[in-house]
Structure 1
């Protein structure tokens, strides 16, 4: 049978089994209307059952226009619990958020790491203490900043202007075990992993204008640690559609790391892939091959992912508004912490 005919036959069979199968494994809810372009998600360390998310910048990626830099606290059903306004911070292209305990303080780390044109001279990670109390809109100031660039970034020829060698990234996690941040690029095949030591953060004080401190913060260079391996199709339907949508569906849009630093979940537009770092293993070894995957119910703008605090579920958000902008699914039982 010709390949096209074989795929068509298998596709009809796959539709039959999927209609009665995995749809019940996904639980959906709606994000608040103010979160209409969700681009990151992380679990709160201070408030059980709460997650922090944010919009991309005013629906204009890589825009130089100013918008209100807001973080939104939501619960697992998508209800808005609080808004955090980082008023002095310029929101250039926020694409990720992660969290961790830094110097005894539950801290949010916002990744201004998007670069659709690969033209920014450097990128920023803002460190913001989690508020002790939720409710209404609160103002918050960052306490630290990392400015960084990639090792292959260089000024472009004078006739072109700008910079070359930058990377568009939407995935960021804090590896508390090794005290470093992990970044994963998006618009390239294969995607690349980089690390930045937590020690690179530069303190931000309220006594001086933030814009001045921003300009004078030293720029560090991220370290390349390896490529994301080829991602296998998570299920039969994904395999069937891969020749058509693979280049789009395989783009990494976020990742989340379990509290024990063992399990890394990488989100794409079509699936979640799990990588396991076993005792004594470095990230180069852990990233060699995914140990499991879950196909998502449809290919869409899934942009943020977080483990629940008990590590038993994943919460995923997508751009847009409506009833299916927040999704919950179970972590495979074989991968849960022993």
Structure 2
């Protein structure tokens, strides 16, 4: 009786776990992991290392100029990088690794939407060795062609090296392209090239053919074509997270890694449908809206919110099931 109930409970628990999530301890690289570093309380950006498989770079959103390298096998910090040559960050929100092997950090947050007449991007070579060290960083001044705004997503195209920023706005933001090459001596003007929904982070796929953008309740993957979004995007299964802040691709492009803020925050892997191929076909075009009007939830966003609600009740049901099994075991 006891063994049968244990098997039933284990099978039920496994069946209730979301597909694509790690299920065993001692997980392989690029699986789910929990950030163990007590200093990382507001992980706001996430980028897969190009030089060190299984390592993810992150940072707090308002902090000293510190970048942390976290090992996805253990969740422990294996390198703390102190950026030298830059001022005190105001609101670091995004991070990416470029085709040149450099790490780009976006000090691009502006919670009051127009407080800063300029923001900054920091850039430095990804270290060859993983250890605590000081890195010499270049600081770039950034302005938007259509005025100051808040942003949380910084993306660097893995083939062209061009830097993009997605602004954050409840009514829908903009996708901004920087100059072909950033200039350290002057102001880098970013120009609006496309429209995006509410965005808290984004990343290019390793081959540069896709762009994923996430918000608090959903994420969409877009075809990237001619320096713009090539379709209306496909909803991907973003997990429900308390403060959904970051997303990146795994180094091989087979999955997304979703992160959130908070102490001991969880980074969740979600496999891409078809592995390295597109998630599925383009979604139906979204209804148009008047400029400046609030954006209604898309079908994908409604699905993601529904999935989050369903997940809550599934977990509650799993808890009841486990408690019931324990109770029967005690009687047994």
* TM-score, normalised with respect to structure 2: 0.71
* Equivalent-residue separation in structure 2 for 1:259 and 1:298 (angstroms): 25
From 184, 199, 202, give the equivalent of 1:255.
Answer: 202
Mapped partners of 2:62, 2:228: distance in 1: 33
Alpha carbons of structure 1 residues 289 and 96: separation in structure 2 relative to 1, 3 Å = same
Query: Aligned residue for 1:80?
Result: 77
Closer/same/farther in 2, CA of residues 264 and 93 from structure 1, 3 Å limit: same
Report the alpha carbon displacement of residue 44 of structure 1 after superposing the two structures with TM: 1.0
Cα drift, residue 222 of structure 1: 0.8
Distance in 2 between residues matched to 1:300 and 1:91, nearest whole Å: 25
1:219-262 Cα shifts (integer Å, max 9, x gaps): 12211101126xxxxxxxxxxxxxxxxxxxxx311111112110
Is 1:199 aligned to residue 181 of structure 2? yes
1:30 correspondence with 2:34: yes
Please give the secondary structure, in 2, of the residue aligned with 1:117.
Answer: coil
Is this contact kept in 2: 1:50–1:75, CA < 8 A? yes
Aligned to 1:101: 99
State TM-score, norm by structure 1.
Answer: 0.69
Note the C-alpha offset of 1:186: 0.8
In the TM superposition, what is the alpha-carbon distance from 1:21 to its structure 2 partner? Answer: 5.7
> What secondary structure sits across from 1:167 in the alignment?
coil
**Change in 2 beyond 3 A, CA 1:304/1:177:** same
Show the counterpart of 1:226: 194
Residues 321 and 150 of structure 1, relative CA distance in 2, 3 Å threshold: same
Partner of 1:328: 269
| Aligned-residue RMSD, C-alpha | 2.2
Quote the Cα distance in structure 2 between the aligned partners of 1:198 and 1:139.
28
Q: In the alignment, does 2:274 pair up with 1:274?
A: no
Aligned mates of 1:198, 1:99 — CA distance in 2? 16
Does the 8 Å contact 2:109/2:152 carry over to 1? yes
* 22 and 226 in structure 1: CA distance in 2 versus 1, 3 angstrom threshold: farther
The whole-number CA distance in structure 2 between the counterparts of 1:101 and 1:188 is 32
Paired residues for 1:1-338 under 5 Å: 23-27=18-22, 28-31=32-35, 32-58=37-63, 68-77=64-73, 78-89=75-86, 90-102=88-100, 106-118=101-113, 119-135=115-131, 137-142=132-137, 144-153=138-147, 166-202=148-184, 217-228=185-196, 251-277=198-224, 281-286=225-230, 288-290=231-233, 292-322=234-264, 325-333=266-274, 336=277
Aligned twin of 2:284:
none
Question: In the alignment, is the contact (CA less than 8 A) between 2:254 and 2:276 conserved in 1?
Answer: no
1:314/1:301 CA distance change after superposition, 3 Å: same
Query: Which consecutive residues of structure 2, in runs of 5 or more, have no partner in the other structure?
Result: 1-13, 23-31, 280-332
- Describe the SS at the equivalent of 1:333: coil
SS at match of 1:256: strand
Distance 1:264 1:107 in 2: 19
Q: For 1:321 and 1:41, locate their aligned partners in 2 and report how far apart those are by CA, in whole Å.
A: 15
Structure 1 residues 309 and 335: alpha-carbon distance in aligned structure 2, compared to 1, 3 A threshold: closer
Count of aligned pairs: 253
Deviation for aligned residue 1:299: 4.8
- CA shift for structure 1 position 25: 3.3
Deviation per CA, 1:22-46: give whole Å up to 9, x if none. 6243344311222110010111111
State the shift of 1:334 in Å.
Answer: 6.6
Task: Answer yes or no: is the 8 Å Cα contact 2:44–2:58 preserved in 1.
Answer: yes
